[in-house]
Amino acid sequence: MRIRVGPSTWAWEPVTPRGVAAFAGAPLGRLLLVQGVVAALAAVTVVWFLQSVWFPTVERSLRALPEKGEVREGKLRWRGDSPTRLAGDRFLALVVDLDHEADLGHEADLCVEFGQRDVRLLSLLGYVDLAYPPDWVVAANRSDLKPWWGAWRPAILAATGGAVVVGLEALWCILASVYCLPVWLVAFYANRDLSLRRAWRLAAAALMPGALLMTAAVLFYGLGWLDLVRFGLGVALHFLVGWIYLCVSPLFLPAEAGARAIRRNPFAPAHPIRGSKDGARP
């Protein structure tokens, strides 16, 4: 059975293998436009997650800070109780534990634990310690951090959204350059009509279904429909989805002209041989 892709004018949806294959013959501007829509959708979802899931915990922790405190010369000068839990829920917990000796907030999916000389990030896979830079002077008190947060919070959200869009577009461009040769080889061995330039466009389009799956995983995790383990599976699955589309989508391209020609038996005569009137062959 011959698998064909529709005209390039239908290259608008990167959800099905046929739709991804259609981008191989579509104008580059259309591919960039659809990529921009997918990247913007991912950015909006990430900004919503920060706004609705993590930032409320951050704001509660700011209200729990003492009146005095700072990070200076690579050391947290804390004037409150330690260990203490500033704020937290199932998603995020913010804790001050100068000696990293308690288990406060470890039940959260991500626990940010401020020690005397480093910040410890704890999650399902373990923890990592990030030392305070020795040349930093950062306020760690309510009177300084609350106004700073109120002024910079919109800018942080806007910068995050912009970084997601720019980062995805750049990553798709780099990965398409890496994957275009394997895509071209799949099309070559499947006798599909695909140049290396069109293979780059197909590879770029094949990365969008995985991005949409990742966006859905972030949304469902933020809504509480997925726990951290299932969210991690969604992250791993979005890589697999991209690889599947890279392998399958070239099969929906038109067959090469040479491949169509050799489907006919090359040893068959052009016209059937008719027998003579008495049944004998000439």
In terms of domains, do 44 and 157 share one? Answer: yes
In terms of domains, do 39 and 169 share one? Answer: yes
What per-residue confidence (pLDDT) applies to 257?
65
Q: Where does the chain have alpha helices with state H? A: 17-22, 28-49, 55-63, 142-189, 196-206, 208-222, 228-248, 257-261
Backbone angles phi, psi at 21, to 5 degrees: -60, -30
pLDDT tens column, 48-87: 999 999 999 999 999 999 999 999 999 999 988 989 999 9
What separation in angstroms does the CA of 45 have from each of 1, 14, 158, 171, 188?
41, 18, 12, 18, 38
Determine the angle formed by the axes of helices 208-222 and 228-248, rounding to 10 degrees: 170
Both structure tokens of 251: 């099969």
How wide is the angle at C-alpha 223 spanned by C-alphas 220 and 227, nearest 5°? 65
pLDDT band at 2 (very low <50, low <70, confident <90, very high): very low
**Mean residue pLDDT across the chain:** 89
> Does residue 59 lie in a domain region?
no
pLDDT tens column, 220-258: 999 999 999 999 999 999 999 999 999 999 999 999 765
User: What's the pTM?
Assistant: 0.86
In terms of domains, do 174 and 41 share one? Answer: yes
pLDDT band at 7 (very low <50, low <70, confident <90, very high): very low
How wide is the angle at C-alpha 11 spanned by C-alphas 7 and 12, nearest 5°? 145
Give the SS3 label for residue 218: helix
* 47 vs 280, residue with greater confidence: 47
> Does residue 56 lie in a domain region?
no
pLDDT band at 269 (very low <50, low <70, confident <90, very high): low
Q: Which own/partner pairs from 231-237 qualify as long-range (CB within 8 Å, at least 24 positions apart)?
A: 232/124, 237/213
In terms of domains, do 210 and 86 share one? Answer: no
Give the chain's domain count. 2
In terms of domains, do 159 and 135 share one? Answer: no
What per-residue confidence (pLDDT) applies to 149?
95
Half-sphere exposure of 99 (CA within 13 A, CB side): 5
Structural domain of residue 247, as residue ranges? 8-48+153-261
Residue 97 has pLDDT above 60, yes or no: yes
> Does residue 189 lie in a domain region?
yes
Nearest to 233 by CA among 257, 219, 217: 217
CA 91 to mean position of chain CA atoms: 20
Query: Which amino acid is residue 118, in one-letter code?
Result: D
Give the SS3 label for residue 248: helix
> Does residue 272 lie in a domain region?
no
Residues 112, 97 contacting (CB under 8 angstroms): no
In terms of domains, do 196 and 135 share one? Answer: no
